[in-house]
A and B are shown apart, each in its own frame.
Chain A
Amino acid sequence: MTQQQFLTIENVVKSFKKPDGSDFVVLNGIHLSVGEKEYVSVIGHSGCGKSTLVRIVAGLEKPTSGMVTLEGKRITKPGADRMMVFQGYALLPWLTVRENIRLAVDEVFKKATVAEKISIVNKHIEMVKLTPAADKYPHELSGGMKQRVGVARALATRPKLLLLDEPFGALDALTRPKLQQQVIDIWENHRQAVMMITHDVDEAIFMSDKVVMMTNSPNATIGKVLDIPLPRPRHAHELRETTEYYHLRNEALDFLENYQ
């Protein structure tokens, strides 16, 4: 059962004080676990608190009650073992692609030699196929390229749990599937725990082992967990030919439509 105990979210409640003094309960009693090599997506309508949930796991926000543990250790603050990929990329605009990744590597691998750090940086730039753009600044890159840097930076720190907060949300419809395929290809070769926030059903089913569907806020909680037993490696266009895919997709959409 160690796999189930890798990341556990136990009865997490998050509420904010409203100006009139009453509580606004965003998340109400979330239970969720992510296995050591499991890709889990959390899906829900905008404002259902799914981003709040991932930020609690990242340690950027504190739950009002309940707790989150990673490998049995309680999460109280941000840490590089839970590196995040941000929706808005969060690249530092005064640093090149290489320097952005290097900054993260420098912070996390303090004891590594310079040669080791350079090799980690180069390896991850290559992994996201950005070697020709390695010395460009973020404003010279397209949205898709920027997010590839975000992914490379997160992976370069070798986190135990990778957090993806709507990583493809800001991308155009043509770039998004390409990047989804790239990320899932990388993941299938280096399996690890991933928690991804999304509002795109196809993205969630295509990429995940498990899709967690949330009810709406206030008092949002987990409505349904959908296992995705589709075989890997997955390819978006092949997957779309299968009937299992459509069954799963309809199941997810039915759920989400009930909470419109």
Chain B
Amino acid sequence: MNIFSKNKVNKAFYMGFKKNNFLEKFTNSQVFLPLIGFAGIIVLWWIIALFRSEMMPTPPEALAKNLDFILHPFYRRGPGDLGLGWLLLASLRRVCIGFLLGAIVAIPVGFLIGMNNTAWQILNPVIQVFKPVSPLVWLPIALAIFNSAEPSAIFVIFITSLWSTIINTAEGVKNVPAEYLEVAQVLEMPRWKQLVTVMLPASLPYIFTGLRISLGIAWLVIVAVEMLTGGIGIGFFVWDEWNRLNVSSVFLAVFVIGITGLILDYALAKLQTLVTHRPARG
């Protein structure tokens, strides 16, 4: 999250100008140190590319080959020939639908098992068994049910989004401080109102932790799902470009997927701060 700590970065720059030792401040800043990390990776890539020059492009070669993708993200040159922006939007659409459906199911289920011990004993073993299963295993089952790639991909994301959100919501509900509920009891607040005005807002930080983990995994999984199902999407793009031996495009995809994932997490963290009025953790 460092590169998004905008205030700190701005402050470092600002102080740099003010004290007129910009260079020194810059080398200590939160921009410079992450840059060293990325530079290291690129150097490593470059070295490997020099040894495996028949397949691997060097960073400048890859940049040159990807220039069209980078400069024209939203081109349409035929039914299957779309710019990266469109592919990204198609993948994001699947993730968003699956993730939202997952959240709609997972948050109430989390509340149920967090508040009711019988429900917990019924559902916890199911969750513990299903949670470690790679979500991709659900793909054949989904294809058997829906007989079509698009709903199957969304279904897999839906399953992916369930577990962390359920578990963290339940944890949040169990951890609502007793004092908050006692205040509500002393005020003679009806039970349903305690749920909405005290328990839900009190467990929101936990719910958001669950949502952020779920969305992170969903974004990992969609790429793999699209490699298997084909169609339009950033995952299939990776597989397709590899089949055409365009490793340069795969490198581009690595950065695009990574940055998109980071933005998704950042967006949820921002939403959390907005909704809970407290700074997001981690």
CA distance A60 to B177 in the complex (A): 15
Q: How far is the CB of B274 from chain A (nearest CB, A)?
A: 11
Asked if B1 is at the interface of the complex by the 8 Å CB criterion, the answer is no
Whether the pair B277, A60 counts as a contact (CB closer than 8 A) is no
- A-contact 0/1 string along B178-204, CB 8 Å cutoff: 011011011111000000011001101
Instruction: Kindly list chain A residues whose C-beta atoms are within 8 Å of the C-beta of B197.
Output: 103
Asked if A97 is at the interface of the complex by the 8 Å CB criterion, the answer is no
Residue of A80, A88, A90, A139 near B188 (CB, 8 A) is A80
Whether the pair A84, B186 counts as a contact (CB closer than 8 A) is yes
- A-contact 0/1 string along B265-282, CB 8 Å cutoff: 000000000001110000
Interface set, chain A 86-124, CB cutoff 8 A to B: 86, 88, 90, 92-94, 103-104, 107-108
Whether the pair B188, A107 counts as a contact (CB closer than 8 A) is yes
Centre residue among A78, A82, A104, A137 by max chain B CB count within 10 A: A78
Asked if A218 is at the interface of the complex by the 8 Å CB criterion, the answer is no
CA distance A83 to B188 in the complex (A): 10
Interface residues on B, range: 10 to 19
CA distance A137 to B201 in the complex (A): 14
Whether the pair B186, A79 counts as a contact (CB closer than 8 A) is yes
Interface set, chain B 143-192, CB cutoff 8 A to A: 177, 179-180, 182-183, 185-189
Centre residue among B179, B180, B197 by max chain A CB count within 10 A: B179
Q: How far is the CB of A196 from chain B (nearest CB, A)?
A: 16
List the 6 closest pairs (A to B, CB-CB), nearest first. Answer: A90-B179, A107-B187, A78-B185, A78-B186, A94-B201, A90-B183
Can you list 29 A-B pairs, Cβ within 8 angstroms, ordered by A?
A58-B186, A59-B185, A59-B186, A60-B186, A77-B185, A79-B188, A80-B186, A84-B182, A84-B183, A84-B186, A88-B179, A90-B179, A92-B183, A92-B198, A92-B201, A92-B202, A94-B201, A94-B202, A94-B204, A94-B276, A94-B277, A103-B187, A103-B197, A104-B183, A104-B187, A108-B188, A137-B277, A137-B278, A139-B278
Given contacts A60-B186, A104-B187, A108-B187, 5 further A-B contacts (CB under 8 A): A60-B182, A92-B183, A94-B278, A103-B187, A107-B188
